[in-house]
Chains A and B, each alone.
Chain A
Amino acid sequence: MSNVLLIDFGSTYTKITAVDVEREVVIGTANGITTVETDIMEGLNQALSELFAVTGKMEFTKVLGCSSAAGGLKMVAIGLVLELTAEAAKRAALGAGAKIMGVYGNELSEYEIEEIKALKPEIILLAGGTDGGNKEVIVHNAKMLATLGIDVPIIVAGNKSVAPQVVKILSAVMTEVVHTENVMPRLNELNIEPARETIRSVFLRRIVEAKGLNKANKFVNRMVMPTPAAVLKAAELLGKGTEYEPGLGDLMVIDIGGATTDVYSIAKGDPNRANVALKGLPEPFGKRTVEGDLGMRYSATSLFKAAGAKMIADFAGVTESDVEAYMKKVEENIEYLPQSEMETKVEIAMGRACTRLATERHVGQLVTVFTLMGDAFVQTGKDLTAVKIVIGTGGVIVYHKEPESILKGTTYSASTPEMLKPQSPEFWIDEKYIMASMGLLGEEYPEVAIRMMKKYIVRR
């Protein structure tokens, strides 16, 4: 018996995907409304009824779950220098699928402690100092966090020379303090995998219970990770492959939602030409960024502010006042769908703006430095110009008739030559909306997940 059920407990919908791992096919999918306040099983049972109505009752050999329910995994990242260990801590949290509520650097003040308390983080990631480097600041911050007044799991991922001291200070008041490897053990050396793993295990141990997701425990074999981590995992599998199944190579994934746009890149991003100096903190091979102001409904106003009426109007070929009117309408009525040709054009243009801005914030940049010996080039971030595959996922793209028009925003443009965006990518669409499920499936059946993604994610 080879049926596996994959569950995504989303913030609004509980999405289920039934898969036959022997035949490597999706048997069926269904949605229920997420019922985290009452009993999570209600929404899940609703989805199961819908599924069984089509497939007939099924038994599953395995049930795996991921979650972004109840607002997702909320985290605060703290480091020393904002561009260095604070940034490294932020990347570790993003890679773990968290929602970043705040990033702090240097010595925390009482005001900042009040701020952090008000943010109600579910996990705090505390970093600062390279190994053997600065000691004072992380110790100071531990003492400050000890005055937080709420019991929050804290992961210590800073200067290892003072880790025992830091853990001791925090353990006196917090019930869960976990030490892991430094997110930046030597200057400009990113080491976020251990912190990512630790975040995931704390999530499973503590947060799953706190969000009521453990009520599904009798049914779900394993709650595996926060949902965005599942998408990243799927992307990593599909790009890298395993020793038994080749991957597709470097790729990017764009996920546009009502509130945020997430961008994932699976690539080393080394410079594509000679004489380029790489500067700044290196970026993770599997990189995730989240833009909380770029979305199609809840964030329509902030999207309007970020993109400007002109960009959207130009993409759509309509007037700026039409754009403004439509975007106001959809923010007020998030269920609204375009009714006319004009509205459809604006909708596509909004998607393209989300894609363009989110991609530009994700990719690396190349600047020319004029030196006495000729031009030199400095690159920060990843060079993604050679990426050949851009995958679109998320409701906005998957249910759209013309997703390629939206994904055009990812492509390199001569008007912004410093942005290292893919030059001539193919667009592949996650038509069956299975990426998160495949990330889950990949935990136990990695080669099956890769082959299924190759089959179901379709090149346009």
Chain B
Amino acid sequence: MENNKVKVVLGVIGADCHAVGNKILNYALNEAGFEVINLGVLVPQEEFINAAIETGAKAILVASLYGHGEIDCRGLKNRCRETGLGDIKLYVGGNLVVGKTDFTEVRNKFLAMGYDRVYEPGILPDQVIIDLKNDLGV
């Protein structure tokens, strides 16, 4: 079964079992023509990396829902560099911090950690898809 769909890796990082948003994103990305490699929940950084390497994925979409994402998400960009994935796009979203902070601060923090795009809670999949298509030139 030949296919030239662009592959993206999707998963919920860290000690986190929230699964609903993951399924919604999976569906939307599929409909938009991407091939989704969905790692599910409780995904450590290594698993994102290994999946991206074997499948030749062009983007890793990290979701963190329980408000403590910073600890889990830090260091992923460096791992990508080490393992030859220096050019892969890294997106992060979900519920990145607890409480109501100004999201600009949050966004800047995650951009500084090496993520290409940082999404606030309530974002619709459509926006993610538009951004992916732009960033990957598809």
Q: Which residues of A approach B to under 8 Å, CB–CB?
A: 80-81, 83-85, 129-130, 132-135, 161, 184, 187, 277, 279, 369-373, 376, 378
B31 at the interface (CB under 8 A from A): no
Q: Which stretch, B51-59, B101-109, B112-120, B123-131, touches the partner chain A? A: B51-59
Quick check: A133 and B66 within 8 Å, CB to CB?
A: no
| Given contacts A277-B41, A376-B15, A376-B42, A81 and B53 within 8 Å (CB-CB) | yes
What's the nearest-Cβ distance from chain B to residue A85, in Å? 6
Q: Which residues in A have their C-beta under 8 angstroms from that of B37?
A: 187
**Closest partner residue, chain B, to A184 (CB atom):** B54
**Closest partner residue, chain B, to A280 (CB atom):** B47
| Given contacts A277-B41, A378-B42, A373 and B51 within 8 Å (CB-CB) | no
CB within 8 Å of A: which B5-32 residues:
7, 15-17
Q: Which residues in B have their C-beta under 8 angstroms from that of A370?
A: 15
Quick check: A83 and B50 within 8 Å, CB to CB?
A: yes
Q: Which residues in B have their C-beta under 8 angstroms from that of A83?
A: 46, 50
B134 at the interface (CB under 8 A from A): no
Known A81-B53, A376-B15; further 6 A-B contacts with Cβ < 8 A: A133-B56, A134-B55, A277-B40, A279-B42, A279-B47, A371-B15
Across the interface, B17 reaches (CB within 8 A) one of A129, A132, A135, A371, namely: A371
Quick check: A135 and B66 within 8 Å, CB to CB?
A: no
Quick check: B42 and A277 within 8 Å, CB to CB?
A: yes
Across the interface, A134 reaches (CB within 8 A) one of B16, B17, B46, B53, namely: B53
Q: For chain B, which range describes its interface: under 10, 10 to 19, 20 to 34, or 35 or more residues?
A: 20 to 34
Looking at B3, B54, B56, which has the most chain A CB atoms within 10 Å of its CB?
A: B54
Q: Which residues in B have their C-beta under 8 angstroms from that of A81?
A: 50, 53-54
Q: Which residues in B have their C-beta under 8 angstroms from that of A372?
A: 15-16, 66
A134 vs B37: C-alpha distance when bound (angstroms): 14
Quick check: B54 and A130 within 8 Å, CB to CB?
A: yes
Quick check: A187 and B54 within 8 Å, CB to CB?
A: yes
Quick check: B54 and A85 within 8 Å, CB to CB?
A: yes
Q: Which 3 A-B pairs have the closest CB atoms?
A: A133-B55, A133-B56, A134-B56
**Closest partner residue, chain B, to A275 (CB atom):** B17
Quick check: A376 and B17 within 8 Å, CB to CB?
A: yes
A372 vs B67: C-alpha distance when bound (angstroms): 10
Q: Which residues in A have their C-beta under 8 angstroms from that of B40?
A: 277
Q: Which residues in A have their C-beta under 8 angstroms from that of B16?
A: 371-372
A-B CB contact pairs (8 Å), 17 listed: A81-B54, A83-B50, A84-B50, A130-B56, A132-B7, A133-B57, A134-B53, A135-B56, A277-B40, A277-B41, A277-B42, A279-B47, A369-B15, A369-B42, A372-B15, A372-B16, A372-B66
Quick check: B42 and A373 within 8 Å, CB to CB?
A: no
A387 vs B42: C-alpha distance when bound (angstroms): 28
CB within 8 Å of A: which B45-97 residues:
46-47, 50-51, 53-57, 66
Looking at B15, B46, B55, which has the most chain A CB atoms within 10 Å of its CB?
A: B55
Q: Which residues in B have their C-beta under 8 angstroms from that of A129?
A: 54-56
Quick check: B51 and A132 within 8 Å, CB to CB?
A: no
**Closest partner residue, chain B, to A278 (CB atom):** B40
Looking at B46, B47, B56, which has the most chain A CB atoms within 10 Å of its CB?
A: B56
A146 vs B15: C-alpha distance when bound (angstroms): 45
| Given contacts A83-B50, A371-B16, A372-B66, A130 and B55 within 8 Å (CB-CB) | yes
Q: Which residues in B have their C-beta under 8 angstroms from that of A371?
A: 15-17, 66
A370 vs B14: C-alpha distance when bound (angstroms): 10
A129 vs B40: C-alpha distance when bound (angstroms): 21
Q: Which residues in B have their C-beta under 8 angstroms from that of A85?
A: 54
What's the nearest-Cβ distance from chain A to residue B106, in Å? 19
Looking at A130, A369, A378, which has the most chain B CB atoms within 10 Å of its CB?
A: A130
A85 vs B55: C-alpha distance when bound (angstroms): 11
Q: Which residues in A have their C-beta under 8 angstroms from that of B50?
A: 81, 83-84
Q: Which residues in B have their C-beta under 8 angstroms from that of A187?
A: 37, 51, 54-55
A129 vs B16: C-alpha distance when bound (angstroms): 28
Q: Which residues in B have their C-beta under 8 angstroms from that of A84?
A: 50, 54
Q: Which residues in A have their C-beta under 8 angstroms from that of B4?
A: 132
What's the nearest-Cβ distance from chain B to residue A386, in Å? 24
A361 vs B15: C-alpha distance when bound (angstroms): 25
Looking at B3, B15, B66, which has the most chain A CB atoms within 10 Å of its CB?
A: B15
**Closest partner residue, chain A, to B67 (CB atom):** A372
Q: Which residues in A have their C-beta under 8 angstroms from that of B46?
A: 83
Q: Which residues in A have their C-beta under 8 angstroms from that of B51?
A: 187
Quick check: A132 and B3 within 8 Å, CB to CB?
A: yes
What's the nearest-Cβ distance from chain B to residue A138, in Å? 11
Q: Which residues in B have their C-beta under 8 angstroms from that of A133?
A: 7, 54-57
Q: Which residues in A have their C-beta under 8 angstroms from that of B55?
A: 129-130, 132-134, 187
**Closest partner residue, chain B, to A82 (CB atom):** B50
What's the nearest-Cβ distance from chain B to residue A157, in Å? 14
Q: Which residues in A have their C-beta under 8 angstroms from that of B15?
A: 369-372, 376
Q: Which residues in B have their C-beta under 8 angstroms from that of A277?
A: 17, 40-42
What's the nearest-Cβ distance from chain A to residue B9, in Å? 9
**Closest partner residue, chain B, to A107 (CB atom):** B84
What's the nearest-Cβ distance from chain B to residue A415, in Å? 26
| Given contacts A279-B42, A369-B42, A80 and B17 within 8 Å (CB-CB) | no
**Closest partner residue, chain A, to B18 (CB atom):** A373
What's the nearest-Cβ distance from chain A to residue B34, in Å? 13
Looking at A161, A187, A277, which has the most chain B CB atoms within 10 Å of its CB?
A: A187
Q: Which residues in A have their C-beta under 8 angstroms from that of B54?
A: 80-81, 84-85, 129-130, 133-134, 184, 187
